[in-house]
Chains A and B, each alone.
Chain A
Amino acid sequence: MGALAEAWTLLLGGDRETWWTILNTLRFSLWSTALSFLPGAPLGAALYLGRFRGKRAAVSLLNATMAVPTVVVGLFVYSMISRSGPLGGLGLLYAPGGVVAGQAVLALPLVAAMTFTGLQKLDPRYHETLLALGAGPARRLAAILREGRFVLLQALLGAFGRVTGEVGVSMMLGGNIRWYTRTMTTTIALDAGKGEFERALSLGVALLAIALIVNFLSHMAVFDE
């Protein structure tokens, strides 16, 4: 009970490290969401629009990549950005850029899959009408993305929620360095491991609040549509 009261004090009292961790997590999440969304949304839309052999296999592969554990994604990106990896020269490992890159790789299939799945719920006549009127692939893509913007918003929010709550990638690629790469989830893992629950609980409350807000916005997007 004392730990919970102390957790509220850290949050409401404006504890510098707690709030720095929250804001740093949001900063990483915003960047990685944007970086995953830019290729992910067009990829999902292109998959929706495309007529090609092996489309079903491509969709299955995309769905399978969503189920890959975060530590495996972290390991893959680690091998890319470690000193001996092909991107080692960029100095991203144990730096904010590494966390953002890893989270973006983690969220990309989610954005693409959510976009694809969401667009499938659009009225199929919309795409057929575009085809019938002579819209080329680029125009169709733009028109479908405009029509399905609530789908995109949901994919955006879904990716944001995913990267905000993940721990494996941030821990492996950021190294949980205080005042540098530490995020809410890595702090919770560290503090809980040490038996210091106050900050872990305060950050847990903040994570829960973020998850609720993201879900609320996501439902509002669908409701408005």
Chain B
Amino acid sequence: MNRRDARPTRAPTGAAVAAAGPATIRGESAWASVAGGPGSPLYEARGLSFSYERKPALRSVSASLQAGRSAALTGPNGSGKTTFLKLLAGLIGPYRGSLRFMGRELSEARALRGEAMYLHQHPVMFRGSVRDNIAYPLRLRRVGRDEAAARAEALAAEFGLAGLLDRQANRLSGGETQRVALVRALVTGARTLLLDEPTSSMDARSVALVTEALAALKARGLTLIFSAHDEELVRALADRELRFSAGILEEER
């Protein structure tokens, strides 16, 4: 079987999903049209290792993460959770071993095709308004200014962020920033979110709002892969828990 045959049904590109507008993330899961549907392998890691300079951060991790399921990465600081997430997001490399996304090796150019979005523990907002920030990924995909702004507004309204649209994005609170970053990641139609400790350093109300937003996304069939120390968040969102220790996948449950 050649490489092309081995690949699952090609998923719509980020741009194609984006072109369908925010409605693509509403209501029923869109996985019927994506890579075999819920439960099919989304990520496949085999003997995955990564080192910063010469310091090993991840050692021979093998795991399979399914589409439409959420997985929590837990473990102490420095155990490899963020490194694993960044590898899944294609932000760092090169790695040793194999890491496939929808059947395609992640080291290949454009393997992620905008399907998976990574969110930092403390997301960065660009200069400009919240509207500009949410519209930014659409502008990158050559969506016209007016259309991008309209779609940003529609999606922000859906997440209860309409009142923030004209605020300067870099002056938001931690909880607001995390929610705006979520919407910014979703605006292009990404179906997988990779979240690094999404509720850390937040007050209780912000934690509740962000957890609620993530639960809503999970209910819509999005794949959430997140690192967390917060056991309540893990209980609320995770279908599976992958526990890391010193760069090793210690336990799965």
Contact = CB atoms under 8 A, between A and B. Distances in A.
A binds B: yes
Contact of A133 (B93, B127, B137): B137
A134 B114 contact: yes
B120 A128 contact: yes
A128 B91 contact: yes
A132 B89 contact: yes
Interface string B97-135: 000000000000000001001111011101100000000
Interface string B20-44: 0000000000000000000000000
Interface in B153-190: 184-185, 188
A224 interface: no
B12 to A, nearest CB: 14
A139 interface: yes
Nearest to A51: B93
A125 B86 CA distance: 11
A131 B119 CA distance: 11
A136 B137 CA distance: 11
A133 B140 contact: yes
B91 A131 contact: yes
Contacts of A125: 120, 122-124
A134 B141 CA distance: 8
A125 B118 CA distance: 11
Given A123-B124, A143-B126, A132 B140 contact: no
A76 interface: no
Contacts, number: 43
Interface size class of B (residues with CB under 8 A): 20 to 34
Interface in B1-31: 14
Interface string A121-154: 0010110110111111001000100110000000
A214 to B, nearest CB: 26
B136 interface: yes
A224 to B, nearest CB: 14
B193 to A, nearest CB: 11
Nearest to B89: A132
Contacts of B126: 129, 143, 147
Given A123-B124, A126-B124, A134 B188 contact: yes
Contacts of A133: 117, 136-137, 140, 184-185, 188
Contacts of B137: 133-134
B37 to A, nearest CB: 24
Given A131-B91, A146-B127, 16 more contacts: A51-B93, A123-B124, A125-B122, A125-B123, A125-B124, A126-B124, A128-B91, A128-B118, A129-B120, A132-B118, A132-B185, A133-B140, A134-B114, A134-B188, A139-B140, A147-B127
